[in-house]
Structure 1
Amino acid sequence: MNNVDTGELLNFQDYSPEHNDRSARIDVEAVHTSQYSSSMSNPNYAFEEPKIPTDEPVAAPQSNHNFWTIQYYQKYFDVQTSEVVERIISSVLPQKVSRNYFDERIKGKPDLYGPIWIAVTLIFTIAVSGNIASYLQNTNKLLEWRYDFHIVSIAATAIVCYIWLVPLALWAALKWTIVPDDQDEIETQASKSPSMISLFCLYGYSLSIYVPVAVLWTIQVFWLQWLFVMMAGFISGAVLVFWLLPALRKSKYFIILGGCILGCHFLLATGFMLYFFHTPNSTIKPIENISTSLKPI
């Protein structure tokens, strides 16, 4: 083992700044130069610019469903409660919405949720109110009153046929009677014939006025019942004409189609009142009078 002078080790050593800076600079530059030269010497080296991440939404895959599948009709039941309430109110009070309410809110997003529930509610309301009217008509008679369950099936058949067949006939009439013109593309698109689903939606909501009127028809006053017929038929028919006015104006038979819409609603209201409330088809049976005869003794 070599002898080391401990005194020399404990003394401060003097290193010049020039020596220290030069050695440090040489080491750093050597490392950087070696890395750069190795990367440039690689024949497969390619400069890549940094990619900026973008938050672009990825489009969901669209799936086309068949007309006969349940998935096809799911979009017609995707509706908010506020939208259903707004459409019910606008079917009774059309002045609460704008003149282009159909083109702005219903044509692009028709629904079947509201019309189906309105039709079901109207069926049971007519069935219950019709039997109540029948009971009130026969309270002071010597008749045995019974509930008529056939009213439910008759009312269901009449309402379902009306809200499906009449809109289908109107759709075909508008399809073949609208006259094309030389307007711009946006205006032509806004005034073209409405779809069948949108007409089903309109006719379903137009029946909402008959739900409270069916309850009022139980009042056994003849002139008051006819007053409710006129009111319900005019309001429901006028709402449809008001909503479909841009499309009806494009038809060659504008006045005829508007009159048919109002006439069908008046016929519907008259049929409801006369069949279910004025002369309801109830099952009544006379009570047999039991007479006792006294035999002479």
Structure 2
Amino acid sequence: MTNLQEVPTEELLSFHDYPVVHQNLSASASSEQAQINITINEDNFDELNSQTTEDHLERDVGGSQNKSFSIWSLDYYQKFFDVDTKDVTDRIIASMTPKVDPKLRHKITEKPDLYGPFWVCTTLIFTIAISGNISDYLQKADTNYQWRYNFKLVSYAATAIWIYVLVLPITLWGILKWSSETISFNEEQSKLSGPLELICTYGYSLFIYIPVSVLWSIQISSLQWFLALFSASLSGSVLLLTLLPSLRASKHKMFLIISIISCHLLLAAGFMLYFFHTPDNNIVVHSVMSNVTSNTTEVIKDMKLMPGKI
């Protein structure tokens, strides 16, 4: 302990004075650094905020799309009605435009819907019922037949249309699943084979009958047959070209092609013959029956006026 040297207190507690210039430079450097950091944060704040918001939205949308709903709930079918006017209009135009590579298949494959087919079928039901009654009135206008509005045409038209749009596509889908061959196909070609896509395709294919049903009320037999063949050929060709990639995967593709064309022609002919076209012999029968009834009534009146001669 005696060998230790004592250090003066002034040397232990010594303070160094830096120049004023050094202090100013340090202060300016720190302020510039702070200013740069603040500027960067202000410039990138909006971008970072928007990017964060978009990420949250994408996660929300993705979560809502990937969220599975029960087939018995309304939320499950909500996505099938998520279309706008442009989507429906484009699909209606595509259903009447036959092409080798139809746009209808691509549009339905990307996003099938039930909104368009529902309103197409509903409009067609009431158009056929109204035009059918107008046609019936025009057929019997020159006779003594007392015409009445036939409300049963609405139920008849609805039954035929909904069977064609719902039952036939589901049956076709079952046959395709049963008779499909185990060969490799392009992914795009094999997509259009689900029941929803088939129902959507069949629903849009009936749009052409809405204006045709109005023209069917014109009582010209040759014009009615021409409209039936023209509309069935036009929409049937689009329907066949749209379903052709899926039909190629079936072992019985020729049978299915002939069946699809035949059903489409039978539907058009059935609409025209049952709701709009009345053979001439029916009109003759109505006129003959009215004449017989009027003559019988006159004979009975004469017999009542002359009781002594009986």
TM range (shorter): 0.7 to 0.9
Following TM superposition, by how much is the alpha carbon of 1:53 offset from its aligned partner in structure 2, in angstroms? 5.6
The AA in structure 2 aligned to 1:198 is: E
What's the % identity of the aligned pairs? 43
Equivalent residue number for residue 253 of structure 2 = 254
Q: CA 1:106 to 1:23, structure 2 compared with 1: closer, same or farther past 3 Å?
A: closer
Structure 2 residue corresponding to 1:141, chosen from 140, 143, 148: 143
4+ residue stretches of structure 1 with deviation over 6 A? none
Q: Is the 8 A contact 1:171 1:193 kept in 2?
A: no
Structure 2 distance, partners of 1:22, 1:219, is: 106
Where do residues 35-184 of structure 1 align in structure 2 (5 Å cutoff)? 55=51, 57-58=55-56, 59-60=59-60, 61-62=63-64, 63-95=67-99, 99=101, 101-182=103-184
* SS at structure 1 position matched to 2:268: helix
Following TM superposition, by how much is the alpha carbon of 1:22 offset from its aligned partner in structure 2, in angstroms? 6.7
Between 54-63 and 160-169, report the one with greater CA deviation: 54-63
* SS at structure 2 position matched to 1:144: coil
Q: CA 1:21 to 1:277, structure 2 compared with 1: closer, same or farther past 3 Å?
A: same
Following TM superposition, by how much is the alpha carbon of 1:175 offset from its aligned partner in structure 2, in angstroms? 1.4
Structure 2 distance, partners of 1:275, 1:156, is: 14
Following TM superposition, by how much is the alpha carbon of 1:258 offset from its aligned partner in structure 2, in angstroms? 1.1
Structure 2 distance, partners of 1:91, 1:103, is: 10
Equivalent residue number for residue 223 of structure 2 = 224
* SS at structure 2 position matched to 1:92: coil
Unpaired runs of 5+ in structure 1? 1-17, 33-51
Q: CA 1:191 to 1:207, structure 2 compared with 1: closer, same or farther past 3 Å?
A: same
Q: Is the 8 A contact 1:107 1:194 kept in 2?
A: no
1:96-132 CA distance string (max 9 Å, x none) = xx71534532112101111011101100000011001
The answer to whether structure 1 residue 213 and structure 2 residue 212 are counterparts is yes
Equivalent residue number for residue 271 of structure 1 = 270
Between 132-141 and 286-295, report the one with greater CA deviation: 286-295
Following TM superposition, by how much is the alpha carbon of 1:176 offset from its aligned partner in structure 2, in angstroms? 1.9
Q: Which is helix-richer, 1 or 2? A: 2
Where do residues 229-248 of structure 1 align in structure 2 (5 Å cutoff)? 229-248=228-247
Structure 1 distance, partners of 2:141, 2:235, is: 33
Q: Is the 8 A contact 2:144 2:290 kept in 1?
A: yes
Q: CA 1:132 to 1:174, structure 2 compared with 1: closer, same or farther past 3 Å?
A: same
* SS at structure 2 position matched to 1:143: coil
Structure 1 residue corresponding to 2:19, chosen from 12, 18, 21: 21
Structure 2 distance, partners of 1:122, 1:151, is: 12
Following TM superposition, by how much is the alpha carbon of 1:251 offset from its aligned partner in structure 2, in angstroms? 1.8
The AA in structure 2 aligned to 1:77 is: F
Following TM superposition, by how much is the alpha carbon of 1:177 offset from its aligned partner in structure 2, in angstroms? 1.9
1:212-246 CA distance string (max 9 Å, x none) = 11111112122221222211221222111111121
Q: CA 1:217 to 1:102, structure 2 compared with 1: closer, same or farther past 3 Å?
A: closer
Question: Under a length normalisation based on structure 2, what TM-score does the superposition of the two structures give?
Answer: 0.72
Equivalent residue number for residue 39 of structure 2 = none
Q: Is the 8 A contact 1:132 1:218 kept in 2?
A: yes
> What is the CA RMSD across the aligned residues, in angstroms?
3.2
Q: Is the 8 A contact 2:94 2:102 kept in 1?
A: no
Q: Is the 8 A contact 1:175 1:193 kept in 2?
A: no
Following TM superposition, by how much is the alpha carbon of 1:19 offset from its aligned partner in structure 2, in angstroms? 6.7
Following TM superposition, by how much is the alpha carbon of 1:273 offset from its aligned partner in structure 2, in angstroms? 1.1
Following TM superposition, by how much is the alpha carbon of 1:178 offset from its aligned partner in structure 2, in angstroms? 2.1
Structure 1 distance, partners of 2:192, 2:180, is: 7
